[in-house]
Amino acid sequence: MSVDTKPNLALILAFMILVFLPLKMFSFKLGVNLGFSRLFLTLGIILILGYMLSGHGRSATYFLPRAYFNNNMCFLMFFAGLSFLYTYLTYSNSGEAYRVIIMGVRFFESTMVLPAIFFLLINSNKKRQQVILKVVWWWRVAVYIAILQFILSLIGLPLSYESIGEAAPENTALFGGIVFLRVNSFFGEPRVLASLLIPIMMFYCITQDRALSTSEKCLIAFVGAMTFSNTIVISLGICLILRPFAGGSATTKSMYLFAVLIVSLILTLTMIAFQDSIISTVPRLQIIADISNSGLLSGASESIGGDIAQQLSDLLIVPYIFSGYFLGIEGLLGHGLGSNQLVLRALAQDFFGFTNPDVLFGTRFMVFLLVLDIGLIGCLIFIKIALDLIACASKKSKSPQLFRYYSYCIIAVALFNDSYFFICYLMFLSVLKGLSDKRDYH
């Protein structure tokens, strides 16, 4: 391998590791999910080890940026390590130990190994920024492909894949008596696209230091609607809730907060008053009424079925929070890193007497997964890391208030996806901080 090709290979691997992370269609289901991102991460590890063993690593400046691997992140890794050790010792003699190991390893892979390999592959913050910009550009292209997918479905070519070799023509929804394909582009499930749609579009705007254009807002509305996923409603709700916290005068914040309350009230009253008509038009919204009538809010449902059963792993967050269960010691410290799938089964049994291993495979809400695994304390450390990076990076923006708002939305909305997408944004913020500190290496 010539010297000239090494940097190119490193840049390609770094790009591939990030770009495929949320694109779940590019994966194989072989007992465990073997995605392209993980494959290229493995190649990246091999390349880094090759550099070190051959002695070439000493001829270049390889470093891990303190902006990401700061004291808070180191403490979080130490905390998570103790939590994982506790979980492994607890379940080491059971048949469920492999689940704990898989989930625990995934946490460290996504929060520590992936960023470390990315940063080691590229030893310049400028080049890191350039790679991330290309990655975000291609994510945006993947969003636009959802429109092409929708058009093809209208002419009788419903192309939908959740992973390689796994066609999903059943991803359809009924609207006004007409069956539509639920678009998913390369994101695997429609709900994954719905959860990453706003973060990706805002991420792209952040890289250009501008606000969303009218056409981009229309794109979000259209593609979000065509996913027919309740997750897009959650995403929009989070963005509305976060708007008052983005900065501005007390009067401005109060006006935004008042507007959020009014919009929420109007939507609630509309849903109540026209429930039958709305559900008959969009049957997928039936789950909202089912949740309200099922006792999920009080954790006292006697029967679980339909869409609620299929999404129970995610919906358990409702009784978990409203019952005050998470205020105990396990809620503060977590049930143990890697234990979330086992805890979900226990919670379903405790709250509803519901047991179905085929359904309770694990939550797809990263925020719930982290709360179960590392507790409120671990999540607060993550929040501290994110807020520090956002505060620093926003200083160089033409509109710091908009930068902070978009950053809050990107991280908060992405937490309702299980791909650790928010880590990519933290990496980007750490690169910006490195550039602003003028600690770049060439």
In the predicted model, is pLDDT for residue 346 greater than 50?
A: yes
In the predicted model, is pLDDT for residue 232 greater than 50?
A: yes
Looking at every residue in the chain, the average pLDDT score rounds to 84
In the predicted model, is pLDDT for residue 244 greater than 60?
A: yes
Give the chain's domain count.
Answer: 1
In the predicted model, is pLDDT for residue 59 greater than 60?
A: no
- Report DSSP state, residue 362: -
Phi, psi of 432 (to 5 degrees): -60, -40
Provide the residue range defining the domain that includes 249. Answer: 5-436
More confident residue, 441 or 277: 277
Longest alpha-carbon distance in the chain: 71
- Whether 442 is in a domain gets the answer no
- Whether 52 is in a domain gets the answer yes
Q: What is the pLDDT of residues 186-196, one digit of tens each?
A: 998 999 999 99
- Whether 441 is in a domain gets the answer no
- Whether 326 is in a domain gets the answer yes
Is the distance from CB of 73 to CB of 429 less than 8 angstroms?
no
6, burial (CB in 10 Å: exposed 0-12, middle 13-18, buried 19+): middle
* pLDDT at residue 298, as a whole number: 52
* pLDDT at residue 164, as a whole number: 87
Q: Which of 294-303, 316-325, 347-356, 381-390 has the highest mean pLDDT?
A: 381-390
* pLDDT at residue 2, as a whole number: 38
Average pLDDT score over residue span 336-340 = 91
- Whether 365 is in a domain gets the answer yes
* pTM, rounded to two decimals: 0.88
* pLDDT at residue 419, as a whole number: 87
* pLDDT at residue 245, as a whole number: 73
Is the distance from CB of 136 to CB of 201 less than 8 angstroms?
no
Least confident of 17-21, 39-43, 306-310: 306-310
* pLDDT at residue 427, as a whole number: 97
Distance CA 350, CA 369 (A): 18
Q: What is the pLDDT of residues 404-417, one digit of tens each?
A: 999 999 999 999 98
Average pLDDT score over residue span 400-404 = 93
* pLDDT at residue 173, as a whole number: 83
